[in-house]
């Protein structure tokens, strides 16, 4: 089996650490792992395949000989260093928003648009975490019934906002002084309808990501409107999704399609209190779906509830899956 040299940019962050964990769990054929981070992380180390590896400063020359560079250090870092990695011969799989909507950069969820992986010019973009879990469920339904419109409200974990967000929630729950406020308001016992910056039309950047990324990934002119909310949950994003189809559908058919869909786990037995929850989706790679029911206010409508671990499938696992597609070929 051919082995590959892999760099992880942002190796000391939440997603970077998870990327290395997923690489090991999924037995990705790594010859050499190169953990890269900012200067303040130099001197730290990571454990990979029972080996202690020093974290090195992110510099352009570090990408020599690297086959895959997994980036999760923010859009600014990706814009500055991803071109250097590509120039050195690496394939960049970028978890930031830097290149997602760029023409010529595939935006890939392997269960949905695997074929787009091979159209890259050195950079492949990992979609937004909330978009990933939604399109894994939408795609098989769209193939059968053709989606006309989606209305989604999200309930997003603090882990999606990074380590400072987690620390703020932990401090507030422990009733101790908050070391650093990540959010503009307390997050414990609260909900914030505010993820990323607001635009002039009242929508946030996160909400627009879901709209635009869904269309690009699905390769379909689907109307999407979103409200994204940060909630005091440690791991896992939840979504209430209303779907309007162009063609007749039944709850039974939707359940059976999703039961067979790749990457999806059906949890839909309310009589037994079985439905997706962040606490049961935590540290898992699948997308969980339940609460499937007819929307009788429109001719062809379905309501459902989607939950997934935003650090795994919403970021690290999806990135590693893209690399797996590349080494497996078409």
Catalytic positions, please? 129, 237
Q: What is the DSSP letter of 158?
A: G
Indicate the pairing of strand 264-266 with strand 56-57. unpaired
In the chain, where does DSSP find H-type helix?
14-25, 75-87, 110-113, 129-145, 163-173, 205-218, 251-259, 278-281, 317-328
In angstroms, the CA 87 to CA 83 distance is 6
* DSSP reduced 3-state for 299: coil
**Which of 238, 316, 242, 319 is closest to 281 using CA atoms?**
238
Q: Which residues contact 167 (CB under 8 A, 6 or more apart)?
A: 179, 180, 182
List of E strands, the chain: 4-9, 30-37, 45-48, 51-54, 56-57, 68-71, 91-94, 123-125, 147-156, 223-230, 237-245, 264-266, 287-295, 301-308
| Burial profile 212-226: b = 16 or more Cβ within 10 angstroms, e = fewer | bbbbbbbeeebebeb
Q: Is the dihedral of CA 227, 131, 287, 28 positive or negative?
A: negative
Structural tokens at position 208: 């627009």
């Amino acid at each position: 089996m051919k082995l590959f040299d892999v760099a992880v940019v942002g190796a000391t962050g939440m997603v970077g650490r998870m990327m290395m964990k997923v690489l090991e769990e999924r037995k990705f054929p790594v010859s050499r792992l190169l953990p890269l981070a900012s200067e303040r992380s130099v001197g730290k180390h990571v454990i990979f395949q029972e080996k202690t590896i020093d974290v090195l400063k992110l510099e352009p020359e570090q990408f020599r000989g690297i086959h895959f560079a997994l980036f999760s250090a923010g859009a600014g870092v990706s814009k500055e260093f991803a071109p250097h990695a590509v120039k050195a011969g690496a394939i960049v799989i970028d978890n930031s928003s830097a290149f997602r909507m760029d023409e010529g950069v595939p935006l890939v969820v392997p269960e949905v648009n695997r074929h787009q992986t091979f159209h890259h010019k050195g950079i492949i973009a990992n979609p937004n975490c909330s978009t990933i879990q939604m399109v894994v469920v939408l795609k098989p339904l769209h193939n059968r019934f053709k989606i006309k419109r989606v209305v989604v409200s999200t309930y997003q974990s603090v882990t999606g906002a990074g380590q400072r967000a987690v620390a703020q929630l932990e401090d507030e729950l422990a009733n101790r002084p908050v070391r650093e406020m990540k959010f503009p308001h307390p997050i414990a016992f609260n909900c914030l309808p505010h993820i990323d910056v607001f635009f002039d039309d009242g929508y946030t950047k996160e909400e627009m990501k879901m709209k635009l990324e869904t269309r690009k990934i699905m390769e379909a002119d689907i109307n999407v409107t979103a409200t994204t909310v940060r909630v005091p949950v440690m791991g896992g994003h939840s979504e209430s999704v209303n779907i309007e189809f162009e063609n007749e559908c039944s709850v039974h058919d939707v359940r059976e399609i999703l039961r067979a869909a790749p990457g999806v786990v059906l949890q839909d037995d309310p009589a037994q209190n079985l439905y997706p929850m962040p606490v049961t989706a935590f540290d898992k790679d699948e997308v969980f779906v339940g609460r499937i029911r007819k929307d009788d206010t429109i001719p062809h409508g379905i309501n459902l509830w989607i939950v997934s671990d935003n650090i795994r499938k919403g970021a690290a696992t999806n990135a590693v899956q893209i690399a797996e597609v590349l080494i497996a070929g078409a």
